[in-house]
Structure 1
Amino acid sequence: MQTSNQGRPYRSHLKPACHACRRRKSRCTTTESSAACLMCQVHGSPCVFVDDDQTRRRKVPPPRGRAIGHADDTENNIDQPDYSTSLSISQPTHVSDTALLQDRAHQRIPVALVDPASQRSSTVSRPSEEASMSAMLAASGDSSPHIISPAMVDDNQELDSYLSNGSAVGIRKITRASSTNASMGSPSRHVLFNTVLRKPLGIQARQSVADGKLEVIEKLLEPHLVDLVDLFFEHANVCFPILDEISFRRTYSEHKDRLSAALLANLYANAMTYWNNSPRLRPCHSPDHRYLWVQANEALHSELFLSPGISTVISIILNVHGRPSTSMFGNGGMVGTAVALSNSLGLNRDCSAWDISPGEKALRSRIWSTVVLMDRWTSLAYGTPLLVHRTQYDVPVPSTELLAYYPVSSIQLAGLSVFTALLTLTDVLSQYLEHMYRISRSAANDRSPTSPFNLESLLLDWEDTLPDDIRRLVIRGNDLGRAGAGNLRLSYLAVKLLLRRILRDATNLPPDHESVVQARIQTQRVAEEIVLHVQELQRPHLRGFWMPTNGFTLTSATLFLLRDALKVTNRTSNTSLKLAKDMIAGLQTHRNNEAWDLADDCLANCTDMTDIITARMNRESPGITDAQTHLDNDFLMFNDVTLSYPSAFDFDLEDFQLDESTYQ
């Protein structure tokens, strides 16, 4: 029996229990003197009474057996509308891609599979563009999307159609409306994501090493943090657009604490390369760059263990492309991690037909394209096979229009055109690398071109597709003042040098055969172009953006010139040796005057070798054969560092074989 002070009748359907009591399955007893029920007063929880029309709405529980993510900490999360209270089973759930990436930290109900179908539901409002892009850079939250195996897609669809009246309830389904490339697979293939825990069990959100490392970096750089962000977007991101500048700057100024600590740490360390470009920073004392990189690396490894996500992939890109580059093993491992994480997040799938904002489409496309670029150029530099295969992704190379979905300046547009040219050049490089690293004979029927004509036509066709200004830039070296222009031309010459090496080694003819001699001369011409390009670089060019892997291109060209110098019979006119010495002299000047770190590898591995060869050839001797015999065999044959680089360019060390009996 109800007493006079009870405001809600027992088990009343006209006045349903509060949300907390319904969840606890406890009796909801209210009094006229208090707006909260007695149980909520005891537990100290908010007492919210749900409207009658909402309580009559049927709710379908998520299917069992799926990963469930619980968000128990709302700190450092992007505020978004609550999608959990307005879903109807008569329509599929339609949310943006970011709703899954923000980890639903504000929800208190279990999350299974979520569906951003190609059509928008009238009961769910999409997040704003600002919050959408900000959430992709956030590292907080307990859950994250993970792509589902294509073999399980049909199983999920059949089960969900049986367990619910609505289609695809609880499933995050993305259907491509059409496919522009027939080789990309069936256009009706769905993309499904599951929600999985980001952090290992037992790890709390506040137990973050990355936040501590970021605090150390910011204390060392204060009060120049904003200046470094400006330098990054002015010199690096303008021609290598990893981040959306407008969204990042807005989030950085208004919600900085919500950004990934690892991302900020690696951005600061990456921007330190351009410290002397700022008139405000140049007179100031520069912190120890290597120490900052150590802190940034530890922050990245911490986030990679605790809460990996899209922000982690961006952090890896900033880390691997940071200068100076000193760890081949570390960078190679990071590239592999970025590839695996990108595949897990579904970045390898074309999102052009997805119901997400243009900013998200551009960001996902540029991240994946940059991961592929990173894989190709580290493969060339480090001598390791490719990690990303062309048959395992369908993301097209982003166009300038896609990247510039918002108004951009003429300088930014010029930088984007350089970036798109670099991406298409990377596609040509990938086909050369596939040919070079092919080991198994079972791959003989691969569709990759193998004839010298087909290999050479790939680069020629790429040149023909370039706009006139970019074509003059890469072929003749014009307009090097454009952001990223010097790096693009050196990258083009690196691909061209690799092509000449492949074509030279493709024949089994004797060394004195006319075609072999002609191939050697053509390779020498490309190496000479690289030397001339280095000599033409001025201070503004050297202080611009450079991929650190291009430092190995300088080493490769110099090693080939030294190798070719040993075969010259006319000691008085050894052009290859002269070019090698010019390369060393030019790099030494750039290193001393502008601290150009791309010169470090070539100077460390080729300076002594060039001096030894020059000294031997300057001696009185019958000919080049005696000079070659007296070379330091130990230095040329057993230098581990030197031997590690030519493999990336298919460098043949047999030409350095010497007669030890004569030397003794």
Structure 2
Amino acid sequence: MFPSGVGGHQTRRPCDRCRHRKSRCIKEPEKDNCTFCHLNGLECTFIHGPRPRKRSRKLSSATETNSPTPSSTGSAEEQITADQAKSRLEGTLGLELHLHSEYIGPASYHEPDLLDLRPSAISLAEYERYFPRRVTQSAAFITYHDRDSASEVQRIADLDRIEELIHPLGPTLVSLYFRIVHRTFPILDKGVFLEKHTRSYREFSPPLLAAVYLVALDWKLFDRILATAPRTVDTESLEILALRTMEDDLKRPKLSTLQAGLLLLQRMKSSHSTLPAQLLSLGQTLGIHVDCTTWKIPEWEKGLRRRLAWALYMQDKWGVLVHGRPSLIPAQIDEEEGTSDWDVGQCTLNDFPEELIGEEENTDGGVDAAAGRAAFLQSIELTKIFSRIVSTFCSVGATKKGGILERIGPSGAMSLAKPLAMELRAWHTAVPDSLQLEPTPSLRLSTNGALHLSHMAAELTIHRALIRTLTPDSPSSLRSTIRTAARARLTSALNLIESFQPEHIQSFWGFAAAAQVALVGAFAGLLWATSAETDEAAGYVEQLEKLRWVLQVRAPAAPFAREALRMLHEEVGDLAAVKAATFRDY
């Protein structure tokens, strides 16, 4: 039965099932049925007419009372539904404003072959609460309506409060975010974000909007409007709102929830947060850990999902250094047997589909977009090596008494370290010229410093592990070899930090930078504590004081340097003030 229109030519009105599911009705070219009906072996029908829309008095009252700008008046849900008709969001998974989806894993009690028999898959009932969605024949999600887990009135009120705190600086902050942060940490889709922000800030999840504003505010001096604004944004209230709404959003997780959490973690200083573990669980709920190459979703969303997955991977792996807790993602992700639970496709330049406008690309004071993308890809490969280093030398099983490191001793540990050191050397050799420290284009911020600091932290992790394996019984020649190499690496690390220029210091560093710098100080402290000679120990004290001075002169301009100073003081204190020390007999 055909809907109104010329026989056989269906109009773009949604079919009965999609309309009752309140989701986009996507019809691919040369197919009779929409995507949902096709995947579920159903036939599109257009029997029922559209339901009359009801305006919620409660929602209308809230929006009229709390709206700080004229563009936000009226029923938010009606306005958004109408505006999204031709949006890039059509056919997306995990990006719909009023829906959230849960990935069905192979070990779940759900049986994918039975999904099509669910009443919600074929029912047109008013009370329908959830429905399945296949993205391939073997991969599926269950999608839920947010109304069962959230208050739309509260969401609108939170967004209005967020906008009120920064009004009228919203567009300026968004522009600054994409000019500096996004080019180095590309976990958003620029086109989708700007499309939604242009229509209404009410299309966002509150924690994501607040997180973008908060992160952008860290670079307010790089925008003339923000630098000379007569009012100061209450960042403390904005951060409280972001964290509180983040807890609300975890009840209805979307990709925006993961994006917000990752952004907030770049600013959080506490090492006691459980948010990283929550985000990993959230990512698995969203199917981030699964290869989406063949999924029936827009190509740009596939790229976004891969970028998000690898950003989450890096958060988890470097979190070992920051928080001291074991990584939650498997160390071996390229197993030939195909038994890994991390099956994310390789991230490539094809996953950055944004078209860069020449005028925007030449904006003064920003990060070079091409260099930022290259740095992100290089960071992924470096983090894979770091993950193998940590699993080899820092796991509970390896470091416990009687563990493998104790059994094989320093000589065996050096054998384990050699291939990892060669991987790091090969990675460093392959870094393109655009990511080296020396060439930095004028009037540009450079993310290269953060990349090379991560490389140095990976190297120090190996050398620290080797130092820890030394015992009084270790051969003197072996002890001398390990300590000489460690001394040289410490000197290189100090020289690297001292070489950072203002364009490096002022760029985006990410959550692990302070801990990576503090690791340099802790490594010097370890060498001091294990020194057998007073003169050698005094040399490490001098190097620590040099590191402290380098950070002090950079701290006023760099939050990560200030945090590293605090961590360094807590870790090693003031060794120069120590009058006497008892050195181990190594």
With the shorter chain as reference, the TM-score category is 0.7 to 0.9
When the two chains are superposed, the root-mean-square deviation of aligned CA atoms in Å is 4.4
Within 5 Å, give how 1:134-533 maps onto structure 2.
136-138=94-96, 140-141=97-98, 143-151=99-107, 155-157=111-113, 160=116, 172-175=133-136, 190-198=138-146, 200=148, 203-208=150-155, 211-284=156-229, 285-305=231-251, 307-322=252-267, 325-330=268-273, 333-389=274-330, 390=333, 391-404=340-353, 406=355, 411-440=368-397, 452-464=414-426, 470=432, 473=435, 479=440, 483-506=446-469, 508=471, 510=473, 513-533=476-496
- Residue 499 of structure 1 and its aligned partner are, at CA, apart by 1.5
Separation in 1, partners of 2:494, 2:515: 13
> C-alpha deviations, 1:254-273, integer Å up to 9, x for none?
24321222210111111111
Letter in 1 for 2:141: F
Separation in 1, partners of 2:254, 2:290: 16
Asked if 2 retains the 8 angstrom alpha-carbon contact of 1:436 and 1:502, the reply is yes
SS at match of 1:280: helix
Please say if 1:599 is aligned against 2:561.
yes
Asked if 1 retains the 8 angstrom alpha-carbon contact of 2:187 and 2:259, the reply is yes
Asked if 2 retains the 8 angstrom alpha-carbon contact of 1:69 and 1:197, the reply is no
- Residue 227 of structure 1 and its aligned partner are, at CA, apart by 1.6
Asked if 2 retains the 8 angstrom alpha-carbon contact of 1:261 and 1:299, the reply is yes
Separation in 2, partners of 1:537, 1:434: 30
Point out where structure 2 has 5 or more consecutive residues left out of the alignment.
10-14, 41-49, 53-83, 123-130, 334-339, 362-367, 405-411
> C-alpha deviations, 1:502-538, integer Å up to 9, x for none?
2333455636722223222322333323322222223
Please say if 1:614 is aligned against 2:576.
yes
Asked if 2 retains the 8 angstrom alpha-carbon contact of 1:418 and 1:488, the reply is yes
Separation in 2, partners of 1:107, 1:387: 47
Separation in 1, partners of 2:541, 2:167: 49
Separation in 2, partners of 1:258, 1:460: 48
Asked if 2 retains the 8 angstrom alpha-carbon contact of 1:372 and 1:388, the reply is yes
Asked if 2 retains the 8 angstrom alpha-carbon contact of 1:432 and 1:499, the reply is yes
Please say if 1:549 is aligned against 2:512.
yes
- Residue 362 of structure 1 and its aligned partner are, at CA, apart by 0.5
From the superposition, tell whether residues 461 and 292 of structure 1 become closer, same or farther in structure 2 (CA, over 3 Å).
same
Asked if 1 retains the 8 angstrom alpha-carbon contact of 2:102 and 2:287, the reply is yes
> C-alpha deviations, 1:563-622, integer Å up to 9, x for none?
323426244993321111011111111123x1x2212343224448867421335xxxxx
> C-alpha deviations, 1:102-132, integer Å up to 9, x for none?
xxxx999xxxxxxxxxxxxxxxxx9867234
From the superposition, tell whether residues 266 and 134 of structure 1 become closer, same or farther in structure 2 (CA, over 3 Å).
farther
SS at match of 2:280: helix
Asked if 2 retains the 8 angstrom alpha-carbon contact of 1:217 and 1:265, the reply is yes
Identical columns (%): 19
User: Which deviates more from structure 2 when the two are superposed, residues 464-473 or residues 498-507?
Assistant: 464-473
- Residue 52 of structure 1 and its aligned partner are, at CA, apart by 11
Separation in 2, partners of 1:559, 1:154: 49
Asked if 1 retains the 8 angstrom alpha-carbon contact of 2:174 and 2:213, the reply is yes
Letter in 2 for 1:615: A
From the superposition, tell whether residues 160 and 538 of structure 1 become closer, same or farther in structure 2 (CA, over 3 Å).
closer
Separation in 2, partners of 1:470, 1:515: 35
Letter in 1 for 2:577: A
Separation in 2, partners of 1:220, 1:531: 41
From the superposition, tell whether residues 292 and 160 of structure 1 become closer, same or farther in structure 2 (CA, over 3 Å).
closer
Asked if 2 retains the 8 angstrom alpha-carbon contact of 1:477 and 1:489, the reply is no
Letter in 2 for 1:329: H
From the superposition, tell whether residues 50 and 472 of structure 1 become closer, same or farther in structure 2 (CA, over 3 Å).
closer
Separation in 1, partners of 2:112, 2:426: 47
From the superposition, tell whether residues 171 and 370 of structure 1 become closer, same or farther in structure 2 (CA, over 3 Å).
same
Letter in 2 for 1:93: C
- Residue 550 of structure 1 and its aligned partner are, at CA, apart by 1.6
Letter in 2 for 1:425: L
Separation in 1, partners of 2:312, 2:369: 21
- Residue 352 of structure 1 and its aligned partner are, at CA, apart by 1.4
Separation in 2, partners of 1:255, 1:107: 25
Separation in 2, partners of 1:342, 1:91: 24
- Residue 308 of structure 1 and its aligned partner are, at CA, apart by 1.8
SS at match of 2:139: strand
TM-score when normalising by structure 2: 0.73
Q: How many residues align?
A: 500
> C-alpha deviations, 1:276-321, integer Å up to 9, x for none?
222332233532433322221112112223x221110111011111
From the superposition, tell whether residues 395 and 572 of structure 1 become closer, same or farther in structure 2 (CA, over 3 Å).
closer
Choose which of 539, 554, 557 in structure 2 pairs with 1:590. Answer: 554
From the superposition, tell whether residues 397 and 468 of structure 1 become closer, same or farther in structure 2 (CA, over 3 Å).
same
Asked which structure has the greater CA Rg, the reply is 1
Structure 2 partner of 1:178 = none
- Residue 171 of structure 1 and its aligned partner are, at CA, apart by 5.8
SS at match of 1:144: strand
Letter in 2 for 1:326: K
Separation in 1, partners of 2:302, 2:34: 28
Asked if 2 retains the 8 angstrom alpha-carbon contact of 1:147 and 1:194, the reply is yes
Separation in 1, partners of 2:433, 2:168: 42
SS at match of 2:508: coil
- Residue 425 of structure 1 and its aligned partner are, at CA, apart by 0.8
Letter in 2 for 1:420: L
Structure 1 partner of 2:88 = 130
User: Which deviates more from structure 2 when the two are superposed, residues 415-424 or residues 520-529?
Assistant: 520-529
From the superposition, tell whether residues 276 and 568 of structure 1 become closer, same or farther in structure 2 (CA, over 3 Å).
farther
Asked if 2 retains the 8 angstrom alpha-carbon contact of 1:565 and 1:576, the reply is yes
